[in-house]
Amino acid sequence: PGLPPALPKATMATATTTATMRCSSTRTYVSSAWEELWVSNVREWQKSEDICREVDKSQQVQMEKYTWALCSSMTNDPSVCVLDDGAQKIFYDRNQHTFKVEQPSSVTVIEPPKAVVPDDPSIFSYFEVRGCDGLVTREYIEPLVS
């Protein structure tokens, strides 16, 4: 069977009712370019057992953007950030594409952790929500790839 097309932009309408007013909000799913690449090719990659090679060969830019977006703390070394889940700190070096539990010698300052808020639509798919007040917000989600 042929591959399915990239995930369509699906719209789900929801209705909210209050005692004084009635309105409708919409929620639209938008696939990232990275997710569309995967949906279009994953079956072929599975058949040829090339998934790992494909990621390693042609998707390093996306992997680096994804990992960097998950950094919770920046450091004095502009190529190193910290992925900290509260239990374990992992140092990611974006130039060497390496993960280490030990603090690199180049890191002397670690900024306080901040909330991780992905916002790169080329990497993260999202739901776009148009509220009753007309306000549009995006709810980014983890890539299908991960």
Which pLDDT tens digit goes with each residue over 32-73? 988 888 888 888 877 777 777 777 777 888 888 989 999 999
Confidence check: pLDDT of 123 > 80: yes
Is pLDDT above 90 for 108? yes
- 85 contact partners, CB below 8 Å, separation of at least 6: none
Residue 93 has pLDDT above 90, yes or no: yes
CB neighbourhood size of 70 (10 A): 16
Asked whether the whole model's pTM tops 0.85, one would answer no
Name the helix (H) or strand (E) containing 16. strand 11-17
